Chains A and B, each alone.
Chain A
Amino acid sequence: MVCRISRTMLAGALVVWVSLLMSACSTSVQVAGEVPTLLVPALSRHVTYVEPKNLVAYVHEEKLPRGGEWSIALGQMNQVFFRQLMASMFTTVTRIETVEPSDILPAAEGKDHDGMIRIDLVEYGFLTPELSGLNFYSASAKYRVELADASSQSLGVWQVVGYGKAEAGAFQAGEAVNAATVMAIRDAGARIALELPDQSFFSAWLEATN
């Protein structure tokens, strides 16, 4: 009996030890954060927000030379953040989901709207203090924003990079990467809200749909 308990305990300890070793080598982050409402007047347009599958299911996986394996799931944060952003930027928003690649916009038949906006996450990257030599975790997210008119004809594409950084806390690498990624998404959102209307193709569309 004593022998059996000891073996069970030993096996349990071994499982815990192996899991600890494995968890030390891999970090999984489900990106989550506050989703603010824009303090910018909404543009009085009816747009169709085209939400691609790869934006809302985006997972970044990377093996760092001195930082183990990382899996960073941004999709859910992208989904709630950009839905909120579109809802704050325009007075009326209709959303459609798509699995088509970024250069294909859905057909416009039967849609009573002023235009379409599609947002794709093109690239995501992050740095740990070990790699950057700084005392911060940093993240960048590059988005592709495409505007099309009411008949699905592309009017222009604008790429925007959001950047964020967060303090490096001991044993809190996942939290710091999450905070830096949320900041990068917020930064990109701020740029879309403030700089997109200044892009020539966008302002021309605003005039045309006035």
Chain B
Amino acid sequence: MHGFTIRQSALGVLFGRHAFHWVVLGALATLTACATTRVEQNRQMQTGLASDEAMVILGRATYNDRQTEESFTDCLEDILSRGDRPIRLVPQKQFVDQMYPWFEPRTAPGSANDLAHLFTEPGVKEQIADARVRYLAWIEGDTVTIDKGGSMSCTVSTFGGGCFGMSYWEQDASYEASIWDLQTLDTSGQISADANGTSYLAGLVLPIPILARPGNAACKGLAEQLRTFISGS
């Protein structure tokens, strides 16, 4: 009982005397910076997805120093499989395993023409038909930091510590989805999403991040456009 009283009064000190500061810091920590997004679409064919048909989202893997982040394709899958008009998706890993060795970074078709050639290989057409996969969306692009600056230093001493200063970084997220129709073995269209935003880290005793998250903005923009594109509406 005595211990409880002590704890209660400690909490009272923490949230009572400094409650206002905690609320301000909490509010600052949840601040988000702006990200500007631009989505463009190029339709080459009519599209539509039956209720039992599915789509696969594949991140284009290459052997150079750039690669679509797995977190980006995961984000697209997450948005497209939910909402008012969810799309049936075959998970990327499951599809690549079922199609082994035809969708590895070295062997994956680079164009719709390559896809038509791949369909002549024994078992490929049947496997895709069994999985009821109608569309394949190849995602290319990445998020890069194009500018950064400012300075911030943090110190810790026996009398306390804190961070002072401000730093910023500007990121550019640029992605393109190329949609292939596995029934007609042709390209249905392309959708591109570009987002740009500057994030800040302000040192006001505590480091307070104000994040723009352009990758997330590009994902949301591309996913919603992809949903509209595939459903044909």
- Taking Cβ atoms with an 8 Å cutoff, the residues of A that contact B are 34, 36-41, 134-136, 163, 165, 167, 183, 186-187, 189-191, 193-194
What are 14 A-B pairs at a CB distance below 8 A? A34-B93, A34-B97, A36-B97, A37-B100, A39-B121, A134-B65, A165-B61, A167-B70, A186-B101, A186-B104, A187-B105, A187-B106, A190-B101, A190-B106
Rounded to whole angstroms, the CA-CA distance of A163 and B64 in the bound complex is 12
- Taking Cβ atoms with an 8 Å cutoff, the residues of B that contact A are 61, 63, 65, 67, 69-71, 93, 97-102, 104-107, 121-124, 127
Assess the A39–B127 pair: CB atoms within 8 A.
Answer: yes
Knowing A136-B67, A163-B63, A194-B107 are in contact, say whether A40-B123 is a contact too (CB < 8 A): yes
Report chain A residues within 8 Å CB of B122.
Answer: 40-41
Assess the B101–A40 pair: CB atoms within 8 A.
Answer: yes
Report chain A residues within 8 Å CB of B100.
Answer: 36-39, 186, 190
Q: Is the interface of B mostly helix, strand, loop or mixed?
A: loop
Assess the B106–A191 pair: CB atoms within 8 A.
Answer: yes
Report chain B residues within 8 Å CB of A135.
Answer: 65
Assess the B98–A39 pair: CB atoms within 8 A.
Answer: yes
Rounded to whole angstroms, the CA-CA distance of A183 and B93 in the bound complex is 12
Report chain B residues within 8 Å CB of A183.
Answer: 105
Report chain B residues within 8 Å CB of A191.
Answer: 106
Rounded to whole angstroms, the CA-CA distance of A125 and B123 in the bound complex is 34
Assess the B104–A187 pair: CB atoms within 8 A.
Answer: yes
Rounded to whole angstroms, the CA-CA distance of A34 and B94 in the bound complex is 10
| Nearest CB of chain B from residue A32's CB, rounded to whole Å | 14
Cβ-closest chain B residue relative to A192: B101
Rounded to whole angstroms, the CA-CA distance of A190 and B106 in the bound complex is 9
Q: Is the interface of A mostly helix, strand, loop or mixed?
A: mixed
Report chain B residues within 8 Å CB of A190.
Answer: 100-101, 104, 106-107
Report chain A residues within 8 Å CB of B107.
Answer: 190, 194
| Nearest CB of chain B from residue A4's CB, rounded to whole Å | 23
Assess the A41–B104 pair: CB atoms within 8 A.
Answer: no
Rounded to whole angstroms, the CA-CA distance of A36 and B98 in the bound complex is 7
Report chain A residues within 8 Å CB of B63.
Answer: 163, 165
| Nearest CB of chain B from residue A184's CB, rounded to whole Å | 11
Assess the A193–B67 pair: CB atoms within 8 A.
Answer: no
- Of B69, B104, B105, B106, the contact of A167 (CB 8 Å cutoff): B69
Report chain B residues within 8 Å CB of A194.
Answer: 101, 107
**Top 6 A-B residue pairs of the complex, sorted by shortest distance between their CB atoms:** A190-B101, A36-B100, A36-B97, A190-B104, A134-B65, A39-B123
| Nearest CB of chain B from residue A165's CB, rounded to whole Å | 7
Rounded to whole angstroms, the CA-CA distance of A134 and B70 in the bound complex is 16
Knowing A163-B63, A194-B107 are in contact, say whether A39-B70 is a contact too (CB < 8 A): no
Assess the A41–B70 pair: CB atoms within 8 A.
Answer: no
Rounded to whole angstroms, the CA-CA distance of A40 and B121 in the bound complex is 8
Cβ-closest chain B residue relative to A35: B97
Report chain A residues within 8 Å CB of B104.
Answer: 186-187, 190
Cβ-closest chain B residue relative to A138: B63
Rounded to whole angstroms, the CA-CA distance of A145 and B92 in the bound complex is 30
| Nearest CB of chain B from residue A169's CB, rounded to whole Å | 9
Rounded to whole angstroms, the CA-CA distance of A202 and B24 in the bound complex is 72
Report chain A residues within 8 Å CB of B123.
Answer: 39-41
Rounded to whole angstroms, the CA-CA distance of A135 and B65 in the bound complex is 8
Rounded to whole angstroms, the CA-CA distance of A40 and B127 in the bound complex is 11
Assess the B93–A39 pair: CB atoms within 8 A.
Answer: no
Rounded to whole angstroms, the CA-CA distance of A34 and B92 in the bound complex is 13
